[in-house]
């Protein structure tokens, strides 16, 4: 079931929001990048197992740590129709220009569209901040066309949209209130205490990136699919 898609600028928290919402046992869980022989759509993980899997942040290689857990269909390891037909909720995140391209292609989804579109909204100060931090987390900067694309999408999907400000994500009290509300609205039954524990760990590691000067030590070539690996028992 296409429950919610998160549309966000690079560096504005879409990955951690996806991880937090996917702590819900009613969602299709994220899985390890190397577990390509696991059928993600039928995988059943408890909230604690999900937390243990998602709770990984590497300040020296932030991008690789984000790729450590994935949705297989985006890497060619599973078929999208299985996610669409599953009784479990699918929650995913896309940058605006990539999401718009996928909408225009009309290959993955058609009339059976996402139930909700969550937009992480950035004001001018936020945009300046996330672009100033790109080297810290090894992100490319957001271009003006990417920002314009976001504006087009939020207008296009106004009737389906849920707007979360980037400033709210960075405010523990406000984010917890928002998360409690969204859990009810999306019928996720989230464990809020566990969810905020994951948020705390993300925030602490992010602060190390934002306020420090971490030496980037890429474990993989940026943007390339990792080798398939078989995990032996």
Predicted pLDDT at 223: 45
Q: What is the dihedral of CA 179, 208, 130, 63, to 10 degrees?
A: -90
38-55 pLDDT, tens digit each: 999 999 999 999 999 999
* Residues of the chain falling short of pLDDT 70: 216, 218-233
In the chain, where the domains are located: 2-211
116-145 pLDDT, tens digit each: 999 999 999 999 999 998 888 878 899 999
Residues linked to residue 6 through DSSP beta bridges, in sequence order = 93, 118
Predicted pLDDT at 1: 94
pTM: 0.91
User: Which CATH number describes the domain made up of 2-211?
Assistant: 3.40.50
Tokens representing residue 187 in the block: 């019928």
Predicted pLDDT at 140: 85
Distance from C-alpha of 155 to C-alpha of 140, rounded to nearest angstrom = 25
- Cβ-Cβ contacts under 8 Å for 223 (sequence gap 6 or more): none
Name the packing angle between helices 172-185 and 192-211 (round to 10°). 140
Predicted pLDDT at 225: 46
């Amino acid at each position: 079931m296409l429950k919610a898609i998160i549309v966000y600028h690079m560096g504005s928290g879409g990955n951690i929001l996806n991880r937090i919402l996917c702590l819900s046992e009613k969602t299709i869980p994220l899985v390890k990048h190397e577990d390509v022989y696991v059928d993600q759509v039928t995988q059943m993980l408890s909230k604690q197992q999900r937390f243990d899997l998602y709770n990984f942040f590497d300040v020296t290689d932030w991008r690789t740590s984000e790729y450590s857990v994935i949705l297989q269909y985006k890497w060619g390891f599973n078929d999208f129709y299985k996610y669409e037909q599953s009784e479990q909720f699918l929650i995913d995140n896309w940058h605006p220009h990539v999401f718009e391209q996928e909408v225009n292609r009309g290959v993955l989804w058609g009339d059976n569209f996402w139930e909700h579109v969550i937009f992480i909204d950035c004001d001018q100060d936020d945009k300046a901040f996330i672009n100033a931090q790109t080297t810290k987390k090894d992100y490319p900067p957001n271009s003006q066309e990417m920002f314009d694309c976001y504006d087009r999408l939020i207008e296009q999907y106004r009737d389906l949209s849920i707007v979360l400000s980037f400033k709210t994500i960075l405010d523990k009290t406000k984010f917890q209130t928002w998360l409690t509300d969204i859990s009810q609205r999306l019928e996720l039954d989230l464990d809020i205490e566990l969810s905020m524990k994951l948020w705390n760990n993300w925030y602490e590691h992010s602060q190390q990136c934002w306020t420090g000067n971490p030496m980037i030590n890429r474990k993989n070539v940026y943007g390339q699919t990792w080798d398939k690996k078989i995990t032996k028992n």
